[in-house]
Amino acid sequence: MSRRPTSSTQAIPEVGDVPRHLAMIMDGNGRWAKKRFLPRVAGHKRGLETVRAMVKACISRKIDFLTLFAFSSENWRRPVEEVSFLMGLFVTALQGEIGKLHANGVRLKVVGDLSAFEPRLLALIREGEALTSGNTKLTLTICANYGGRWDVLQAMNQLALAHPERVGHFGEADLAPHLAMAHAPEPDLFVRTGGEQRISNFLLWQLAYSELYFTDILWPDFDAAALDAAIASYRERERRFGRTSDQLTAVPPAPIFSNSVSTSGNA
C-alpha cells in the first residue's frame, strides 16, 4: 500500500476494513464531570485516560494514524482558569507519556498554531516529536490551538510566499504539502463523542470524504468497545467518492477472445 497521502478529490483512495486514519473530537469532558458534581477540569483529567486507551486500541487494531482534537482555536474563549488547567494538563501529559509512547513505537505530532504556547510547553512538544520521529506503529497527532480555517489560511499564505509568481494558478497538489496534516492521509473515519453533531472548525479540508460518526457517549466514558462500534458502522458504509453504487459493485467484464466468438449459424 502506498504511504504517500492521496487526495480523495484527486484520486480514489484505497479503502480497507479498518480505517487507516481515525480522527476524533474528544467532546463531553465538562458534562461528564458535571454529572458527578465535579469541577469541569476533573473531566479533562479523566479524559486523558481515554486518550491512553485509544492509543492502545488503535495499535492493536492496526490503525496507522490517530488524530485527536485537544484544543481548538476557539477554546481560548473559555474561562481563563479552565484554559490554564488545560495547558498545564498538556505539559503533564507530555512529561508523563512521551517515554511510554516511544516505547510503544508511537510517532507524536502536534499541529496547530503553536506560537501561542509558552516556551516550556513548546520545548516539550519539540522534544517529544524529535524523540519519536522514527516510530512507525502509530502516528498520534494532537491538534492544539488548531482550527480548520487557520490551517487552510496558513497553508495558502506559505504557498503564496514561496511562489509569488504563481498566485492565481495554484492547484490542490500545490497546497497539500503546506497543510498541517501533510504527514497523514485524509481521515477515513471521523468520530465525535459527547452528542454534538458538528465539526467545530476541526479538519475542514481533510474531512472532505471522511465517514462521519457521532455518539452520545461522553469522551471520558468512550472505550475500546465504543471504538469497535464506530468501526463496525464504518464497515457498513459504501464509500463512493462521487461514483454510483453500481460502479462499485460492478464485476469487471470477462476478457473477450477473438477465437471464442460464437460461430453458430455459420456452419
Of residues 86, 204, 212, 229, which one binds ligand IPE by CB under 6 A?
A: 86
Residue from 222, 195, 239, 202 nearest 20 by CA? 239
Q: Which stretch binds ligand IPE (CB under 6 A): 68-76, 101-109, 162-170, 243-251?
A: 68-76
Q: For the chain, give percent helix, strand, coil, nearest 5.
A: 45, 15, 40
User: Of Mg ion, ligand IPE, none, which one sits near residue 188, judging by CB under 5 to 8 A according to partner kind?
Assistant: none
Nearer to Mg ion, 27 or 97 (CB): 27
Enumerate the H helices of 61-171 as residue ranges: 80-103, 119-132, 148-162
CA-to-CA distance for 17 and 19, rounded, in angstroms? Answer: 7
Catalytic residue among 17, 27, 188, 228: 27
- The set of long-range contacts for 77-81, using a CB threshold of 8 Å and a minimum separation of 24, is 81/41
Q: Which stretch binds ligand IPE (CB under 6 A): 70-78, 109-117, 155-163, 206-214?
A: 70-78
Of residues 6, 7, 75, 104, which one binds ligand IPE by CB under 6 A?
A: 75
CA-to-CA distance for 46 and 52, rounded, in angstroms? Answer: 11
Q: Known catalytic residue: 145? A: no
Nearest-approach distance from CB 29 to ligand IPE, in angstroms: 4
Nearer to Mg ion, 80 or 173 (CB): 80
Nearer to ligand IPE, 24 or 159 (CB): 24
User: Of Mg ion, ligand IPE, none, which one sits near residue 98, judging by CB under 5 to 8 A according to partner kind?
Assistant: none
For the purposes of burial, counting CB atoms within 10 Å of the CB of 134, is it exposed (0-12), middle (13-18) or buried (19 or more)?
Answer: exposed
Instruction: Give, as ranges, the residues between 150 and 189 that touch Mg ion (CB under 5 A).
Output: none
For the purposes of burial, counting CB atoms within 10 Å of the CB of 207, is it exposed (0-12), middle (13-18) or buried (19 or more)?
Answer: middle
Of residues 27, 64, 151, 211, which one binds Mg ion by CB under 5 A?
A: 27
Residues binding ligand IPE (CB under 6 A): 25-31, 69-72, 75, 86, 194, 196, 198, 200
